[in-house]
Structure 1
Amino acid sequence: MIVVKTKEEIEIMRQSALVVSKTLGMLAKEIKPGVTTLQLDKMAEEFIRAQGAVPGFLGLYDCPSTLLCSVNEAVVHGLPTNTPLKNGDIVSVDCGALMNGFYGDHAYTFEIGEVLPETKKLIEVTKESLYVGIRELKVGNRVGDVGYAIQKYCENHGYGVVRELVGHGLGRKMHEDPEMPNYGKRGRGKKFIEGMVVAIEPMINGGTHRVKQLKDGWTIVTLDGKPSVHFEHDIAIVDGKPELLSTFAYVHEALDIKSDEENEFRNQFTVNS
Structure 2
Amino acid sequence: MTVGTDDELEALREIGAIVARTLRLMAVSLEPGMTTRELDAIGAAELACHGARPAPALAYGFPGATCISVAPAIAHGVPGERRLRPGDLVNIDVSAEKGGFFADTGASYALPPVRPADRALIAAAHAATTAGVMAVRAGAPLRAIGAAVEAEARRRRVGLVRNLASHGTGRALHEDPEAIPTWHEPRERRRIGSGMVFTIEPFVSTGARHAEEAGDGWTLALPAPHRAAQVEHTVVATANGAIVLTLPR
Per-residue CA distance 1:38-63 (angstroms, 9 max, x = gap): 00111211211111111111242221
Q: Name the residue aligned to 1:216.
A: 216
Q: Name the residue aligned to 2:53.
A: 54
Letter in 2 for 1:109: S
> Contact 1:144–1:188 (CA<8 Å) still a contact in 2?
yes
**Distance of 2:22 and 2:111 partners within structure 1:** 18
Q: Name the residue aligned to 2:201.
A: 201
Q: CA deviation at 1:210?
A: 2.5
**Distance of 1:197 and 1:219 partners within structure 2:** 26
**Distance of 1:22 and 1:63 partners within structure 2:** 21
> Contact 1:90–1:110 (CA<8 Å) still a contact in 2?
yes
> Contact 1:91–1:111 (CA<8 Å) still a contact in 2?
yes
Per-residue CA distance 1:182-237 (angstroms, 9 max, x = gap): 11246942111211111100112112213211110111111233211111001112
Letter in 1 for 2:3: K
The answer for unaligned runs of 5 or more in structure 2 is none
The answer for unaligned runs of 5 or more in structure 1 is 248-270
Q: Name the residue aligned to 1:233.
A: 233
Letter in 1 for 2:215: K
> Contact 1:208–1:224 (CA<8 Å) still a contact in 2?
no
Letter in 2 for 1:150: V
RMSD value, Cα? 1.6
Given the alignment of the two structures, is residue 182 of structure 1 paired with residue 151 of structure 2, yes or no? no
SS of structure 1 residue aligned to 2:57: coil
Percent of paired sites with the same residue: 28
**Distance of 1:227 and 1:17 partners within structure 2:** 28
Letter in 1 for 2:128: S
Q: CA deviation at 1:125?
A: 0.7
Per-residue CA distance 1:78-137 (angstroms, 9 max, x = gap): 111211111111111001111011001100111211211011001101111001011111
The count of residues paired between Structure 1 and Structure 2 equals 247
> Contact 2:87–2:111 (CA<8 Å) still a contact in 1?
yes
Q: Name the residue aligned to 1:4.
A: 2
TM-score (norm 1): 0.86
Letter in 2 for 1:5: V
Q: Name the residue aligned to 1:101.
A: 100
**Distance of 2:115 and 2:43 partners within structure 1:** 28
Given the alignment of the two structures, is residue 38 of structure 1 paired with residue 68 of structure 2, yes or no? no
